[in-house]
Amino acid sequence: MKNTILIIAITLISLTSFSQTNNSSNKGKVTKYITNFPNGEEAITIIESENSNILKLSSADNFYKYEILELANHELVHRSGNKGKVCDIDKEKLEDGNYTLKVYTQDFVITSDITINNQKEGDS
């Protein structure tokens, strides 16, 4: 009887572990960029999922606009106005590569370097 219960318990644990591993692989890679204020507090957070065309941008303070610049020459690539602390950025408006993101609040300009990768699974 004890052996039967032990076998059932091990089987359930194995199935649960497999199920969790399998589900997490479907979500794809998620990259999180965090830029801190000089005092160590989080200033902005950018979340990029390879299964989504949207970058999620959130700020500790309300911001009124953001700009995305070429990292190499600081040429403006994209800009948009904003009200509040969060916004979505459409990655399809940007080519793959490295950029500088500037977020403008009333008191600060917060700068972060980001990498855009629009390549989906199965792309060559």
Q: What is the pLDDT of residues 34-64, one digit of tens each?
A: 888 888 888 999 998 888 889 999 999 999 9
Structure pTM? 0.70
What φ, ψ does residue 93 adopt, rounded to 5°?
A: -80, -10
Task: Classify domain 28-116 at the CATH topology level.
Answer: Immunoglobulin-like (2.60.40)
User: Using one digit for the tens of pLDDT, what is the confidence trace for 88-104?
Assistant: 999 888 999 999 999 99
The pLDDT value given to residue 26: 53
Q: What is the model's pLDDT at position 105?
A: 93
User: What residues does each domain of the chain span?
Assistant: 28-116
- For 104, the 3-state DSSP assignment is strand
Residues 53, 92 contacting (CB under 8 angstroms): yes
Q: Report the DSSP pairing between strands 42-49 and 97-105.
A: unpaired
